[in-house]
Amino acid sequence: MTVFPQDKVARARVLVVGDIMLDRYWFGEVERISPEAPVPVVHVARRENRLGGAANVARNIAALGGQTTLIGVVGDDEAGVEIENLAAQDNIATRLVTDPVLHTTLKMRVLGRQQQMLRIDFEEHPGEASLAQVKTLFAAQLQHHDVVVLSDYAKGALAHVDVLIDMARAANRPVLVDPKGHDYQRYKGATIITPNRQEMREAVGYWSSEADLEMRAQALRHKLALEALLVTRSEQGMTLFLDGSRFHVDAAAQEVFDVSGAGDTVLATLALMRAAGLSWEDAVAWANRAGGVAVGKLGTSVVTVGELR
């Protein structure tokens, strides 16, 4: 793997579109059981908000020194305002649609002594009017970016993902997709999709060997007219499938603490390295290293250039 391409990364421009959410953490101590019910009482000592979903992808791109613009839908509420503020702090350009009848997707986690005890999710799908605005913003931003990332968390912002892929292809912009669900036909025509091990199983079924996986992966790649397909496999590393070839890297993590958000880091690094002009193999190697750093951190987090070096 080459030296981190700092100068090329600084010129790289990545457009991120997808499901935006706010990750809210309440940290505290547990010293007693509630007298009202057999549940622990968490005395909250610290609160922290972090960008989640597609916003975390953009945050990771910015943390590595790349230029990024974020498109998505938020509600007209406190969480939506907080996302705008956090994005500004992280040097992310935003083109957000504010839906007046939508509540911003929010994941609230309660932790006692660094152990997650409870997660509460608030989520609603955006309406057609908001999705139409996303397409308009996307069309306006395409020419100003080198690479497109579509971050799908199945919250509705990418309900028309096929249209966005077609628009990007018409503009000759590579499209990297983090998929969700089992219907991958909607991602047809993307440049690459990056399912994790479980998502790949949902799409192609269980494989019995590496040769079986390669056969299924190449069949899916051909079916969806993809240039490449990357399967992220946790402790087994990552495997990239190209036309007639396979490239594997072993897991880089020294210690796994929390896998939440690691997929965002991998996708962000992969997109940024491709925008910087690196080969698929080199881009995957950097993404693997970044993912190995991310899983050693608590919650959705970013990886810096210093940590990759």
Residue 70 located in a structural domain: yes
pLDDT tops 70 at residue 258: no
Contact 193, 226 (CB under 8 A): yes
Number of domains in the chain: 1
Instruction: Report percent pLDDT > 70 for the chain.
Output: 97
Residue 275 located in a structural domain: yes
Residue 182's CATH number: 3.40.1190.20
The pTM of the full predicted model, rounded to 2 decimals, is 0.94
Catalytic residue among 23, 90, 146, 264: 264
Per-residue pLDDT, averaged over 175-204, amounts to 94
Residue 178 annotated among the catalytic residues of the structure: no
Domain that holds residue 79: 6-21+50-103+125-307
CB-count burial class (<10 Å; 0-12, 13-18, 19+) for 98: middle
Residue 89 located in a structural domain: yes
pLDDT tops 90 at residue 14: yes
Q: Strands across the sheet with 13-18, in order?
A: 93-99, 67-75, 13-18, 147-151, 175-178, 192-193, 228-232, 238-242, 245-249
Instruction: Report percent pLDDT > 90 for the chain.
Output: 83
